[in-house]
Amino acid sequence: MALIVQKYGGTSVGTVERIQAVAEKVAQVRQRGDQIVVVVSAMSGETNRLIALARAIDERPDPREMDVLISTGEQVTIALLSMALHKIDCPAKSYTGGQVDILTDNAFSKARIRGIDDVRVRSDLEAGRVVVVAGFQGVDEHGNITTLGRGGSDTTAVALAAALKADECQIFTDVDGVYTTDPRVEPKARRLERITFEEMLEMASLGSKVLQIRAVEFAGKYNVPLRVLSSFEEGEGTLITFEDEGMEEAKISGIAFNRDEAKLTIRGVPDQPGVAYSILGPIAGANIEIDMIVQNVSEDNTTDFTFTVHRNDFTKALELLQDTATVLGAREASGDDSIVKISLVGVGMRSHAGIAATMFETLAKEGINIGMISTSEIKVSVVVDEKYLELGVRALHNAFNLEQNGVANP
Ligand code: ASP
Ligand code: MG
């Protein structure tokens, strides 16, 4: 007998009919003799609707009351799903996050789970019941309702799976797995059978928005096998797990990209201690996150310094940089918000040299100029002009044979 945690996202429970279809799937798991805990999101659009209601009263509503409000969406779904299960003679019981003691810190709207007391869930499971839990929510130590950040139901599911030592945590969503890249950019993108936690984190943080990043971190930390599957089609989905022992090949798992960045450059700054700090200090002080940073080798005791920020922060960051340029006596500060970042992700990079070279060669053959480069153990990222996004992604997908197996074409 296995213990499975399943999570159904907003579109999977978007209508009464879909909730009934979920009930059928859940009942099947119980029928084959396994134990099951189901975590659900609010019906699609509901959380946004609630947020809009609050904003109509106050642009900056009280955070505690906001969480009281937006946690209600999930409470609707747990009750409806339990009713649908009862209707097909499947015993089930619904619980809010607080009722199953999902204890969090008190950071409203982005709370972190501290612990789960699994006693109640276990006794229901042992009594043969399906346990239906509201995602996205918990309570702090004073009993205040908290929420876990947008997409937080994924994290609820993983945390429950970890606490219960479940055999698998299955995330049902509107896509049938994790792809080598966005199929809207490269129609030849292939569903991955497996991907490592580390790779998934890189893919997710770079904009492949299949899972909440925190859920992936949590799963990796507590070693919870995580599977992403479609709630509308049958299939194996993608298993997110630990690295395979025998991974010998120069394997690349995917290509992520991010259209939300902008690049800023300050030229001719005196090359002396403290320069990086005087440039980036004001940016960080304005709560602007910096992604890539490149400082050039100095010439005539001056240097150039380039970094990227989120596009939404571009104008503000450029203003700050222009002020800094004046203070430091730099030659000029300029920016470009029509760039994209393309990243190659794969654990195979750890043991194989030459992957970055193949990447640069591929882009060169297409006449794509690389503006910036950054690397980590399992990732190489380049910044290029946004007009080359599609071309670059497709060329790399082909060069690394991602349609087949993720090993570079000879
Ligand atoms: N309902 C919440 C949201 O829309 C949580 C979730 O769906 O995971 O972000
Ligand atoms: Mg989601």
Dig out the tokens for 80 from the structure. Answer: 């409806």
Mutate to test the pocket of ligand 1, among 38, 41, 49 (most ligand atoms within 8 A of CB): 41
3-state helix, strand, coil in the chain (%, to 5): 40, 25, 35
The response to whether residue 173 sits with its C-beta less than 6 Å from ligand 1 reads: no
Q: Same domain, yes or no, for 8 and 113?
A: yes
CA atoms within 13 A on the CB side of 181: 32
278 and 377 both lie in a single domain: yes
Pocket of ligand 1 contains residue 77 by CB under 6 Å: no
CATH number at residue 87: 3.40.1160.10
- Answer yes or no: do 287 and 389 share one domain: yes
Atom of ligand 1 nearest to the CA of 136: 5
Give yes or no: residues 407 and 298 share one domain.
yes
Let me know whether 123 and 255 are in one domain.
no
Q: Given strand 194-196, what is the order of strands in its sheet?
A: 92-95, 130-134, 35-40, 3-8, 168-173, 226-230, 238-241, 194-196
Supply the pLDDT for residue 245: 60
Are 164 and 249 in the same domain?
no
CA atoms of 270 and 112, how far apart (whole Å): 43
Distance 154 CA to ligand 2 centre (A): 7
Same domain, 300 and 405: yes
Domain total in the chain: 2
- Is 180 part of any domain? no
Nearest residue CA, atom 8 of ligand 1? 151
**Ligand closest to the CA atom of residue 77:** 1
Any idea which ligand is nearest the CA of 152? Answer: 1
Residue 251 in any domain: the answer is: yes
Largest CA distance in the chain: 80
Do 153 and 275 sit in the same domain of this protein?
A: no
Residue 246, amino acid: G
135 in contact with ligand 1, CB cutoff 6 A:
yes
> Ligand 1 in contact with 153 (CB < 6 A)?
yes
Residue ranges of the binding site for substrate = 47, 74
- Domain membership of residue 128 (yes or no) is yes
Residue 311, Ramachandran bin (φ over 0: left; ψ between -120 and 50: alpha; else beta) = alpha
Which residue has tokens 């199953």? 100
Residues 153 and 277 in one domain: no
Strands 302-310 and 290-295 come out as antiparallel
Per the domain annotation, does 215 fall within a domain?
no
Same domain, 166 and 275: no
Q: Is residue 387 part of a domain?
A: yes
- What Rg value do the Cα atoms of the chain yield, rounded? 24
Regions of the chain where pLDDT drops below 50? none
**213 found inside a domain:** no
Ligand 1 binding pocket includes 110 (Cβ within 6 Å):
no
Residue ending a domain, among 144, 174, 204, is: 174
Asked if residue 189 is part of any domain, the answer here is no
Tokens of 148: 């876990």
Neighbours of ion ligand 2 (CB under 5 A): 9, 151
Among residues 159, 174, 189, which one ends one of the domains? 174
Collapsing DSSP states into helix, strand and coil, what is residue 337?
A: coil
Compute the distance between CA of residue 226 and CA of residue 100 in angstroms, rounded to an integer: 22
Q: Are 150 and 31 part of one and the same domain?
A: yes
Q: Which of 174, 195, 227 is the last residue of a domain?
A: 174
Minimum-distance ligand 1 atom for the alpha carbon of 212: 8
**204 occurs within a structural domain:** no
253: domain CATH number is 3.30.2130.10
Ligand with smallest separation from the Cα of 69: 1
> Domain range for residue 268?
245-410
Q: 7 C-alpha to center of ligand 1: Å?
A: 11
Do 164 and 256 fall within a single domain? no
Of the candidates 207, 142, 215, the one whose C-alpha atom is nearest the C-alpha of residue 179 is: 207
DSSP code string of 287-309: T--EEEEEEPPPBTTEEEEEEEE
Q: How far apart are CA 258 and CA 267, in angstroms?
A: 25
How high is the pLDDT of residue 250? 60
* pLDDT score recorded for residue 171: 96
Q: Residue 353: its pLDDT value, please?
A: 81
User: Ligand 1 centroid vs 318 CA: distance in angstroms?
Assistant: 34
